Structure 1
Amino acid sequence: MVAEVIEALRQQGLTVSFDGVNLVLEGAVDTLDASLKDAVKRQKTLLMSQLAPPVYFGAQPLHCESAGAIRFVLVAWFDSRVVVWSPHLERDQLEETVRSSPSFGGAGIKVVCATCPSIPPIFEQMAAVGRRFCVHDVRRAFRLTNGALPLDVQWIDTADICRAAGYPSDIQKLVTSTPLPFHETVKLRFGQKPSSRQHRSLHDDLVGGAARSIATQNLFEILSGFYDPVAAWGHHRINNRGVCVDVQLAKNLHAIWTQSYSQVMKPIQDGTAGISPADLRNDAKFSIWLRTHGLAVTKFNRDELSRLLHTIESGSMSFSPAVLHVVQAKLFLLRPLGSQLQTMLDICDADGRLRHQFVSVGSHTGRFASDESQLHNFQRPDVRIANHSSLISRSSDPHNFLTCLPPGVRPDDAVASLRRFCLIAEQGNRLCIGDFRSIEPRVLAWCADEPRLLEAFREGRDPYVEMAERLFGRRLGKHDDLERQVGKVVLLGAGYAMGAETFDDFAGKHGVDLASVGLRADMVIQTFRSEYPRICGNGEINGMGLWYAVDAAARHSVATGAVTHAGRCEFHHDGSTLFIRLPSGRWLCYRNLYLECADSCGQASLRFDHPKNGRVNTWGGKLTENIVQAIVSDLLIASLVRCEQSGLAVVMHVHDEIVVEAKIESAESTCAELSNIMESPPDWARDVPLEAKTRISSRHGDG
């Protein structure tokens, strides 16, 4: 793309540069080929992204707040200029404070103060010529400025870049716990405990904004090698486009949940259940209350409590009515659907679309996450509800809705199941939904070069069914859905060196009770490991399975500094950080990774500084999981970018699923194009056996 255009210009004796405002072509421009000239026009924004330095922003709340609105100051640095903007201050007050602050001095620096109610024109001018805007934690900046910042520009988020580089995203942690070379202003501001709000002055707030903008510049310049402008371009377009919301359905579901919550919590709040709302929220006190009523429960996740509630409701054991009320109330508290639906309604734009809900680097491996509305955490439709459309049509009447629920489906189950149905296509459009089928097992098999699993995928067989048939010792029929689900959970969970106990918990969280289908976790793990030796061991990858090859490669590189290879990846330790180069060319970074804490057998642990979780252990199975999930993320990003380049309007993506909005009359052809894109891997993964399943729907939950 951009690199190809620049190289083509070079071959024609031309160079392209940036003069502070525009792109400049130097050389024999009159001889420029028409197709290349057109390419330069089409790629102007991306060319600008690579050639022009960004505008660096720092947003800071002011030391006092007006009723109902956050007051802020914004400091921006670019082209030897500083713009200080706050619509909440008098101009004289702002200018006087800026003049008295050494943070805004410096030879050749022009400082402009602005107190206009909307964004200063200079920012609009920069956006109009394609300049990128760079800020640390763009979602924080948008919230802090009450949406005053423009959305339709190319934003660079250095918080995402920090996570991609293996660092924490919090500026204070970056300053105090990493060796990154920050400017002295940043060190002074963030190297100590911040003063409390009531003791901060306007000068402190201006310095805070300046320090944030300088820190943003420092981070981008230091870590720009971890920034992918093409992926960021696609991510920005998708976030700007947003997805349409059925606002009325969301309001109806919120009303249903609120009414049901009030009914369930009534015995708790009026004291008749014998436990206070505060104690109900406290797992330790809740456990004590259950023991006094004859129940010994150690796990308080939704799956365990749902099973407990089923036991109580079945009448197989005798309990007081209070136990039923309390367990129902606890289950409601574990699902804060009311606040989640309200958040979705609050952040929905006036045109009924949810925007800027995706975080491009949401985890250490580079996988996406979702912000505020938590689109990635929407529950899949409940299989016990045969007709979601019927419930949707009744949602305006809570009583009618609740009386039509299928047996065993609680109100919170129904509301959670219908939340996906709030995401819709605009009138006259349809959602074209493409899902990468079994992508993690496919990539795992590819990394391990596991012939049996690769062959099954390439021949269109169903490895989930084949694993289930191995476990149950019989052929599966078309109605053996539960057995296939067992096989699916095994392939998704056992591929990363889980032990039997951990896998048993994993299966339970995915709705599979191994004991109820006559299986033991240790037997399942042993079957998987014997079925796929190139993943688990006794294979031929350097004489060992993938888990052990990855573990050995990491340990050898840490011990010797040598470049090693395993699982189609390259490992290099520079004395403090382990870098794993993925097949795409992207790096996974494990900061301060060393061999520590030898166990009784003399085996040292691999320990590193996790961006979120502090000092943690890792091992071959965990590193394999990180690698596979990172490659899956790279494949998703490649497909998203190709969709955008092809003119497909991606409105959202959930895990391994891409959702495109298209006109009704072009939905079929859009689905075909989406499938072709998703099943055509990039050159670095050309032999990964990808498969995509597509469907057309007016609502995301349908199908």
Structure 2
Amino acid sequence: MVKGGDYLTRLLCDIETYSAADLPSVGVYRYTDDPSFEIILLSYKIDDADVETVDLTEQSIPEWFLDALTDPEYVKEAWNAQFERVSFTRILRRLKRLGPDEWLDPRQWRDTMVQAMELGLPASLKQAANYLGVDQVKDPRGVRLIRYFSTPTKPTVKQPESKRNMPADAPEDWELYKSYNAQDVRTEAAISDKLAAIKTQAHEWDLWAMDQRINDRGVAVDVPLADGAIHIMEHANAINMAHLKTVTGLDNPNSLMQLKQWLRDQGTPMEKLGKALVQEALDSGKLPPMVADALETRLKLSNSSTKKYLMMEDARCADGKVHGLLQFYGASRTGRWAGRLLQVQNLPRNYLPDLDLARSLVKAQDAEAIDLLYGDVPDVLKQLIRTGLTASPGHRLVVCDFSAIEARVIAWYAGEEWTLDAFRTHGKIYEATASQMFNIPMDRIDKQTRQKGKVATLALGYQGSVGALKAMGALNMGLTEDELPELVDKWRNANKHIVRFWYDCQRAVETVLSGGGVVRLQKGLMFYKRKGFLFIKLPSGRRLAYAKPRLEQQPDGRSHITYDGQGDKVGFMRLDTYGGKIVENIVQATARDLLADAMLRLEAGGYPVIMHIHDEAVADVPDGFGCATLCVRQSRGPRACR
């Protein structure tokens, strides 16, 4: 690696660890914050040298390696590098080589997983290695060895207390574990070398470093609120479970098999018991009273939103904060972030008029008063989840966001001037859309017509049709199914430039896949194929990538655009796309780039971001600094509004 004419040493590493905390449940920050945490194996590779493995149950981490962790002349590299970086931070803090609030500088690290995800490849090391067909493949025995040496045993009747398995308990397996650790480094190196021909932009590494700093900062938790909510939840769940047992007569109403059989016995069979389906059955008013009672009670027991309070408790570190709430490139290809642990990108909204009173009652664990005042204890707990994430002592949270960012971006790309004019002036996009669709002056748009404009704006921008309107809740907004086809037609007639943009993008991809070359569209969009990937270059300079794209002929004679990608519930598979979906990727990726650059400017202006939600950034700033409304568009950085 060369930077500024100086050679930088590449230090590729992989570790195996032990902790009593459950990594998938609480995340890497809480996992490594546990007093039991330690690194038990370290394998590393310097430049092109062979892999070396250090058994840390017998030796210490070499001094030179500890020095290298803070030396900018070494570029540290790993697959999912956050794990290694946070783990080594904890070790260096114990050794007093870092202060209690210091973190290893993410600017000195590179994450091979990010390189793969930017190309739309699997986030799993094993899957990525297999897909790329590298010479070095991940050892499949790792899962068993990790379970044996890196996690405590589960209590059993014969062994009621969990214990830790040591190398001496299974010496042959321990040697296999060391081999597994070393093989991971070889696999990571092989993948990194394979991907080196398609370099990740330096700007993306700046954004990854910012993401790491955001996760390092963490978000403070209102502990009394979380504790009060957990107490109320547990008490309510005990009452509801007892009631459900009484109503159904079942020993274990949580058993889907038992509950489904009970429903069949009542003459109301239900093959699926998802929340939406159960609520739909209850809303129909056709269920027998006893069945309705049982299902309503079950819904109260399955309120997953309030379980976020348990996550606040379980994932909270010793500093009183929850860290690691966001995953860089969690949405593969578009580069958008994904939520982790608390899923801050999916927090319930609150509409309570007196939040302070409701919060005080939860902290006092006064479920009776909550029930008397609000009538729905679970709903109150659900609405207060957002308020459980707080500013640091002596600080306050400052929130800034982009308004209707995707609607603005797609109109900008397509040149839909009436939409852009609406945003430049009054900003009432739903009313403007309805006016354009139905040829009605804006001042005569009633509530029902506005609803049509709203659902059309939200559902139809990416070539969606009747199904998209239904998925967006059109039927719950008072619209009838017969109205939906006309709504689609009117929206498309009102947005001819956006419709043209769908087909322009589809033709651009088809042209590149059938004949090669480069196709240029408006706003600097470029479509081309290179090294087995379809690339779409965005105005930011970043590229969307589609692996192994091709045109596949269908029986009807038409060709479909297909590529390899991550399925919804299964692994890597063949997927198909079309103009509207391609536009969705372009728009969402561009919106992501805007948010990412805005967060860099916020940080430069003294507003340290601690979390962000789609088009909204949240900063933790000292009391008296700046203001609650920020201008983030200025090239010189954010400034407080006057």
TM-score range, shorter chain: 0.7 to 0.9
Q: 1:325 aligns with which of 283, 294, 299?
A: 294
Corresponding residue for residue 213 of structure 2? 237
Matched to 2:427, the amino acid is R
Counterpart secondary structure, 2:336: coil
CA contact (8 A) 1:65 1:71 kept: no
Q: List aligned pairs for 1:278-677, cutoff 5 A.
A: 278-280=254-256, 290=263, 293=266, 301-310=274-283, 312=285, 317=286, 319-330=288-299, 332-333=301-302, 335=304, 337-338=306-307, 340-364=308-332, 365-381=334-350, 383=351, 385-395=352-362, 396-404=364-372, 406-407=374-375, 410-468=376-434, 484=450, 487-507=453-473, 513-515=476-478, 520-536=483-499, 545-566=500-521, 568=523, 569-574=525-530, 576-600=532-556, 602-612=557-567, 613-668=572-627, 671=628, 675-677=630-632
CA contact (8 A) 1:255 1:398 kept: no
Distance 2:449 2:432 in 1: 10
CA contact (8 A) 2:397 2:619 kept: yes
CA contact (8 A) 1:507 1:513 kept: yes
Cα drift, residue 354 of structure 1: 2.0
The more displaced of 429-438 and 489-498 is 489-498
Matched to 1:205, the amino acid is Y
CA contact (8 A) 2:518 2:528 kept: yes
Cα drift, residue 695 of structure 1: 11
Give the TM-score of the pair, scaled to structure 2: 0.80
Corresponding residue for residue 68 of structure 2? 126
Distance 1:78 1:248 in 2: 48
Counterpart secondary structure, 1:625: helix
Q: Alpha carbons of 1:621 and 1:423: their partners in 2 closer, same or farther (altered >3 Å)?
A: same
Cα drift, residue 432 of structure 1: 1.0
Cα drift, residue 515 of structure 1: 3.7
CA contact (8 A) 1:264 1:325 kept: no
CA contact (8 A) 1:557 1:571 kept: yes
Q: Alpha carbons of 1:311 and 1:361: their partners in 2 closer, same or farther (altered >3 Å)?
A: same
Deviation string 1:101-138 (CA, Å, 9 cap, x unpaired) is: xxxxxxxxxxxxx26xxxx6444422333344322124
Matched to 1:522, the amino acid is P
Counterpart secondary structure, 2:528: strand
Counterpart secondary structure, 1:356: coil
Return 5+ residue gaps in structure 1 as ranges. Answer: 7-14, 19-51, 92-113, 537-544, 684-691, 697-703
Q: Give the total of aligned pairs.
A: 581
CA contact (8 A) 1:166 1:610 kept: yes
Q: Alpha carbons of 1:695 and 1:169: their partners in 2 closer, same or farther (altered >3 Å)?
A: farther
Cα drift, residue 471 of structure 1: 6.6
Corresponding residue for residue 136 of structure 1? 79
Matched to 1:356, the amino acid is G
Distance 2:266 2:522 in 1: 53
Distance 1:60 1:471 in 2: 60
Matched to 2:419, the amino acid is L
Q: Alpha carbons of 1:610 and 1:81: their partners in 2 closer, same or farther (altered >3 Å)?
A: closer
Cα drift, residue 476 of structure 1: 7.4
Corresponding residue for residue 219 of structure 1? 191
Distance 1:500 1:460 in 2: 29
Return 5+ residue gaps in structure 2 as ranges. Answer: 23-34, 94-102, 149-169
Cα drift, residue 278 of structure 1: 4.9
The more displaced of 75-84 and 209-218 is 75-84
Deviation string 1:607-628 (CA, Å, 9 cap, x unpaired) is: 1111355211111111111111
CA contact (8 A) 1:648 1:660 kept: yes
CA contact (8 A) 2:229 2:365 kept: no
